Structure formats: structure tokens, C-alpha cells
Amino acid sequence: MGGFGIALLPILFVALVFAGLIALLAWAKRGDGRTDLRRCPRCWYDMRSLDGLQCPECGHAAKRERELFRARPRQRAQRGATVALAVLVPVAIWFLLPAHWTRKTPPILLRGLLALQGTPALGPAGIPAPRGGTSYPNHGWQNLVWAHDVGLAIDACVMHAQRGAGPLGDDEFADLAAKLAQMHDLYNRLQVMPMVDGWPVDRARLRVARAWQAARAEHGDADPRTIRLAWVLSEAQFPGALYDHRPDWTTTPDAIIEQALAHPSAVVRQYGLSRLSNRVHLSVMRESTLRTAPGTLPRVPAPPFREIVDQIAGSDPDATTQSRARDLQSYWDAFNPP
């Protein structure tokens, strides 16, 4: 029995309701059943004592004699049953569609429902932390709320990045790097999420991309306002992914990597090394594609700052940072990007 019985009951109920409505419609249409009376088929005026096909009461002209002998339908019942069917048919189709309700409800309604959820509490770095924890919940509506919360984290990063217009000071840089690292970590958990539930994140990432493109058009690529937004956008990417054909994709700006590598905080220098490794990885990946299909794709620019990495590997005051730099050196040497 089990799941089969549970699925069958609502279907039986819906079928019964429909059978009832269709019977009601048929009954209303048959009406009084009188086909022996000569009546106007529009206003039901008695035309037994009249000649001709035109009704003197409402002016309706029947085309044939036969039309004057129709049964009079029960119009209110007919209208009621028609309206009920017109409402219930789409509702029944909606319920019987096999998808989860979050996947068959119009997006505009889902966006309204998500907006009603409000804002979650802030995480350790000061941007919204998804309710339900940092792990993707893997359950219908909670997936969507989770993706919505990650979208809010992305929006918060944009807001923080846009607080100033000039180059970032050391404290501001460290604060934003921590926020972006938290957002990046959340974004990456989407890799296990079916993309169909990830659309609130996609929408948030598109907002960053549009703001970045607008800043590029208005101020140029080298302006700090553009660089701040390019940085946010680069953190809303899967590490190692190479979607450089897409307008919503970018890498960590060189100016940001350079500033991170020279930062007084070891945590921020390690952050810079990790983003520089992504850059090295991308040119290695692209070169390996180009070896099998030469000239099909643009080259990824050669990664800069090798001398800085060598310096950090040799003389950074922090042991962990030194060892991360040495890891990057060996990867760089083993795969030899252009």
C-alpha cells in the first residue's frame, strides 16, 4: 500500500469533484427539458401565438424554426459550474504536475514569498549567514531560502565594497577580504545544489556584474570603484572555473592580489596567495585546452607577481604564509604557465 495509497487518494478526490461539476454542468445545460414550447432562445418570451422568427420582446431573430424549441438552461448553475471548472482545472494541473511546488510556482510569486522571509542574522565576518547553517539543506523550500540568504550575503558585500570610492586602506581591505572570503565559501557550496534552486544566487551575481559593467563604462577599468566591484564579482565564482566568455565572470583584479600580498596581516597575505593560485591555475588550464585546440580561445594573461611569491616564500615573518607561498611556487614550476 504505502506511498501508492497516499498519492491515489487526492487524485480520487479531485476526480470526484470534477465528475460532480461536469454532471452539474450537463444538468444545467439540459435545463427545464421543455422542447415542446415555442420560445425566444434569448429571453424565453412565449411565441406560441406569434408567426415569424423574430422575438417582439428583445428583437432576437432566430435563423430556423427549430431554434425556438430549445430547452431553457439553468443559467446560474451553468455559469457557476463553468467558473468552478475554469478555476479548478489549472489548480488541479498545478497539483498533479510531478515537480516540487517551488519549481512549478511562477518566479515572481516565489520572489515575493522569499522577500517575506526577511534578513538572516550576520555571520562572523559581518555579512548575512544563511539560516539553517552553512550547508546546503537539500530540501525544497529550504534550498530556496538558503540560496536567497546567500544572495543577500552577495548584496551585502557589494554594499560594503561601495562604501568608499578610492583605493582601500589596510583595515578596510582586511575587513572586505574577510567578508568576501565568507561569501565565496557560501557560493561554493552551490556546487552540490541543482542549479534550478540556485537562481536567487544567480540573480544576485547578475546584479554585481551589471554594477561592475556600469562602473567600467563610466570610470574605466583602473578606477578603484571598478576594481572594488570586480573583486566582489570574482568572489562569486567557482574557483578554477573558466567562464571568460561570459559577461558576468571575472578574475580577482591584479591590484587586489598585489595589495593582499603586501598586507600587514598574514591572513590577508594568505588570501592573496590563494587568489593568485587561482590565476595560475586558470592559465595552466587554458594552455592545456589550447594545446589540443590551438587558436580556439583567447589566452589567459600570464599570472604576475612571481617575484613577490618568491620573496614571501623566502622571508615572510609568518610560517604558514611562507609554506603556502612555497606550495604555490612548486605548482607554478611544475605546470609552467606562459
Q: Does 70 bind Zn ion (CB under 5 A)?
A: no
Question: What does the alpha-carbon distance between residue 8 and residue 120 come to, in Å, rounded to a whole number?
Answer: 39
The interface region with Zn ion, picked from 38-46, 89-97, 184-192, 213-221 by CB under 5 A, is: 38-46
Q: Does 61 bind Zn ion (CB under 5 A)?
A: no
Question: What does the alpha-carbon distance between residue 332 and residue 117 come to, in Å, rounded to a whole number?
Answer: 46
According to CB under 5 A, which one of 29, 60, 72, 131 is a site residue for Zn ion?
60
Residue 338 near residue 280 (C-beta atoms within 8 A): no
**DSSP letter assigned to residue 197:** G
According to CB under 5 A, which one of 24, 55, 81, 183 is a site residue for Zn ion?
55
The interface region with Zn ion, picked from 41-49, 113-121, 145-153, 232-240 by CB under 5 A, is: 41-49
CA atoms within 13 A of residue 284's CA, in its CB half-sphere: 14
Q: Does 199 bind Zn ion (CB under 5 A)?
A: no
Residue 274 near residue 300 (C-beta atoms within 8 A): no
Alpha carbon distances (Å) from 306 to 80, 258, 262, 318: 78, 11, 13, 19
CB of 22 to Zn ion, least distance (A): 30
Q: Which position has the grid cell 568572489?
A: 235
Residue 262 near residue 291 (C-beta atoms within 8 A): no
CB of 38 to Zn ion, least distance (A): 12
Residues touching Zn ion: how many (CB under 5 A)?
8
Q: Which three cell numbers stand for residue 269?
A: 597575505
Q: Does 40 bind Zn ion (CB under 5 A)?
A: yes
Q: Does 57 bind Zn ion (CB under 5 A)?
A: yes
The interface region with Zn ion, picked from 34-42, 95-103, 136-144, 211-219 by CB under 5 A, is: 34-42
Q: Does 45 bind Zn ion (CB under 5 A)?
A: yes
Q: Which position has the grid cell 431554434?
A: 67
The interface region with Zn ion, picked from 35-43, 96-104, 134-142, 181-189 by CB under 5 A, is: 35-43
Binding site residues, Zn ion, CB under 5 A: 40, 42-43, 45, 55, 57-58, 60
